[in-house]
Structure 1
C-alpha cells in the first residue's frame, strides 16, 4: 500500500470491510503493505479508515512487503515460489493489494500470483490509479486501467464490485494546504538527484484542474460446492 492512496479509495475499502462480518473476512493479508509510517503518519487516513476499525473488531491483519521495515509483519516477494507458499499457508480469506500493480514490470504475472492466494469463497481487493501523475516506486509503468481492464487481469476470479473513485485536483490540494505550493514549485524548478522524482513533480501539474482517480475492484473465487 503505497503513499499515493486517495482518501476516497480508503473509504471504498473501508465500506467493503464494514459490510462483511469477521467470519467472512477471516484473516486480511495486505500485499505490498509498505511501512507503518506510511499508513499512520504520511497518510494517516489509511489507518483511520481501514486498519484501525479492523483492529477494533478483532479482524487479524498481516502486512507483507518485499522490504523489511517497521510495520511489515512478513517480508516476502510473491514472485518467489517459496515466499508465495509461505503466504498461502496463512490461509487468508481476504487479500488486499493497493497501488502496487503499476509498480511492477508486468502486471499480468503479478495478478496471476495474487489470484492463487485467494481460497474458495475468498476475496481479492485490488486498487490502482486510473488518473494519476507519474510516480516511480521504483518504476511506474503508467498502468491506469478502468474496471473492465483491471478485472480482466484476474481471469480465474469473478468480479463482485467495481468503482472508479474520484480524488481532489492539485488546485484543491493547494487551497486546502497553501504550504504545499512553495514545495511543489521548488520540486519543479530544481531537478532531484533521481530524475524520475523530478519527472513526477513536473507531471503532477497536469492535474491542476483534473481530478485524481483510482480504480477499485473486489474479486471472488467461488466456493467449491
Structure 2
C-alpha cells in the first residue's frame, strides 16, 4: 500500500460515525511485520488511530501468521456462511486484483458487513502487473468498483482516484535494454504516475 493511499483510507475512517463501537475487519491483512515494519504507514495512518479509540480490529488472512487474528479465505463460500453480518466496517485494500472470482469476493464482503455498515475498498487503477500469486489486471475506476455490487446493496459515500506523487515509489529496474530500466523514473518526470481507485460504501440490507 502506498503512503498516500494509507492516509486517504485513514482519514476516511476517522470521520465515520457509528452508533456503537464498530467491529472492524481488515481483509487480506498480511502479517504484523508487513503492516508495522515493512510498510509502517499502514499501521500509523489506519490502525493505530482505530486502536487508540478502542475499536476491536480483526486482521483476516488466508495464512496463519503473527498478527493474523482470523484465518479465513474470502474467496470461498464458507466465508459468508461463517461471518454473516459480523462486522461494522470491512476494509479490503489492494486485493481484488489478486483473486480469480471478483464477484464472489465482493458478495462475501457485502455479506460480512452489517446493515448500515461500511465497506472501504481500494484497487490499483494505473499500476504495473504484480503477482501475489496472480494478477487478474483488474484496474477499475471508483465507479466500476461500486458497480460490482448489486443494485441497492450499497450507497457510495466517497470515491477518489489517488495519484501517487512520492518520488521514492518510482525506481530503476534491471533490464537487458539500455535505458529501459529507467522507464518508471522517466514516467514520473513526464507526469505518468501510479494511481489507486478507492471507495467508501455504506451497506444497505
TM-score (norm 2): 0.86
Alpha-carbon displacement from aligned partner over 1:174-220 (angstroms, at most 9, x marks no partner): 79xxxx65xx33xx45xxxxxxxxxxxx7973873221110000111
Structure 2 distance, partners of 1:9, 1:69, is 25
User: Which among 58, 71, 76 is matched to residue 62 of structure 1?
Assistant: 58
Alignment size in residue pairs: 197
Q: Residue 220 of structure 1 is aligned with which of 179, 197, 202?
A: 202
Q: Which runs of no fewer than 5 residues in structure 2 stay unpaired? A: none
TM-score (norm 1): 0.79
CA RMSD of aligned residues (A): 2.5
Q: What is the CA–CA distance in structure 1 between the aligned matches of 2:40 and 2:49, rounded to whole Å? A: 13
Equivalence map 1:146-185=2 (5 Å) = 146-155=141-150, 156-168=153-165, 172-173=167-168, 181=172, 184-185=173-174
Compare the two structures and name the one with the higher strand fraction: 2
CA contact (8 A) 1:129 1:214 kept: yes
Q: Quick one: distance in 1 between partners of 2:105 and 2:186?
A: 29
Residues 88 and 203 from structure 1, CA distance in 2 versus in 1: closer, same or farther, beyond 3 angstroms? farther
**Structure 1 unpaired stretches of 5+:** 190-201
> How far is the alpha carbon of 1:18 from its aligned partner?
1.2
